[in-house]
Amino acid sequence: MTYMEAETRADVFVPHAFDEQIVDLGEMRMNYATAGGSDRPALLLIPAQGESWWGYEAAMPLLAEHFQVYAVDLRGQGRSTWTPGRYTLDIMGNDLVRFIDLVIERPAFVSGLSSGGVLAAWLCAYSKEGQVRGAMLEDAPLFSSETDPVCGPSIRQSMGPVFMVWSKYLGDQWSVGDWAGVQRALPTDVPHVLLRGLVEMGVAELGTDTGRPTDANPDMPPSLREYDPEWARSFASGLASRGCDHARMLAHVRAPVLFTHHFHRVDEHTGHLIGAIADVQVRRTRDLIEAAGQPFEYLPFPQIPHSMHGADPELFTRVISNWAASVSTPVG
């Protein structure tokens, strides 16, 4: 097993508006960027699979008016260390526990998109006592990113086929690197209903629609080039959630949760999930968190694509700042 530091991949990175920093977490080094003053509540931002910290770049100046913001690259993404064989929710969640301890050094609000939202839920359940003040789960695929969920569609009926194409044609640590092969395979290896759904979800580029092209691959989102495709194999195979049953995790949540639910539908003919999470899975999420004694607020945004912070940074900022203020203010 060979860990890969950012220095070996320097040619894939593009400049950004915020300075980047590195913290040594032991097994890996985590890259991050900050904005806002320490007189404001801390906010940890956790990007989606295939998204580096700078997916939040447009939102960070707005968020900095309300929070001291920390946006991170998870292991295997961006400038953080690539760690072959070590991409699971439990491992990545513990990276974030150490990051809160060593960098933020105080209780924080957490917000994560997609698999980052699953990690935000993980922190609500399994972080150290008092580390997390509350979490916004931005269109998080709870249950739907498992291979055998207790309810609703599985990853095999959603992004799993796309992830398998990434894994096959890009290879762990870009050992294959056949981007043209990805584009050729998608129409044949992924059900057409899912491909159409990616356009409806606003993720047709299969990475992020906010990136700038690289010289070598002019049609490839740069954030995808910064990402270790072993992530895709880990999630599609079920390895990422092994040892982290979503129902058990949600039953242990110890902080208030805001769930934003974006564009979604279940195809009536095939059962494929177009979107991140089905309604039945949100209801199970609510039931488990409320049974754990924690407040659960649900905000539907059926016209918003998968990434609210990417598509509408002003709305994202308004939603999370208003909710955080309500959590911070005692009732009665």
Give the CA distances from residue 200 to residues 104, 141, 303, 327, in Å, rounded to whole numbers and listed in that order.
Answer: 37, 17, 10, 33
Q: What is the pLDDT of residues 13-38, one digit of tens each?
A: 989 999 999 999 999 999 999 999 99
Task: State the Cα–Cα distance between residues 56 and 309, nearest whole angstrom.
Answer: 6
CB 198 within 8 A of CB 162: yes
Average pLDDT of the chain to the nearest whole number? 92
pLDDT of residue 156: 96
Across-strand partners of 98?
A: none
Q: Residue 145: pLDDT above 60?
A: yes
Choose which CATH entry (3.90.730.10, 1.10.3720.10, 3.40.50.1820, 3.40.50.2300) describes domain 6-154+238-328. 3.40.50.1820
Residues 6 or more apart whose CB falls under 8 angstroms from that of 29 comprise 5, 22, 23, 80, 81
- 323: pLDDT strictly greater than 90: yes
Residue 99 scores a pLDDT above 70: yes
**CB-based contact 113:48 (threshold 8 Å):** yes
CB atoms within 10 A of CB 192: 11
pLDDT of residue 58 exceeding 90, the answer is yes
| Closest by CA position to 310, among listed 168, 211, 197 | 211
- Does residue 23 sit in helix, strand or coil? strand
Residue labelled with tokens 């993404």: 77
Q: Is the pLDDT of residue 163 over 90?
A: yes
Which residue has better confidence, 57 or 208?
57
* Distance in angstroms (rounded) separating the CA atoms of residues 118 and 122: 6
Q: Shortest CA distance to 298 belongs to which of 281, 320, 282?
A: 282
In the DSSP assignment, the letter for residue 104 is I
How far is 143 from 246, CA to CA, in rounded Å?
6
- Digit-coded pLDDT (tens) for 129-143: 999 999 999 999 999
Is the confidence at residue 170, as pLDDT, over 70?
Answer: yes
As a whole number of angstroms, the distance between CA 284 and CA 89 comes to: 20
**What is the per-residue pLDDT across 271-318, written as a single tens digit (0 to 9) for each?**
999 999 999 999 999 999 999 999 999 999 999 999 999 999 999 999
266 by DSSP, 3-state: which?
strand
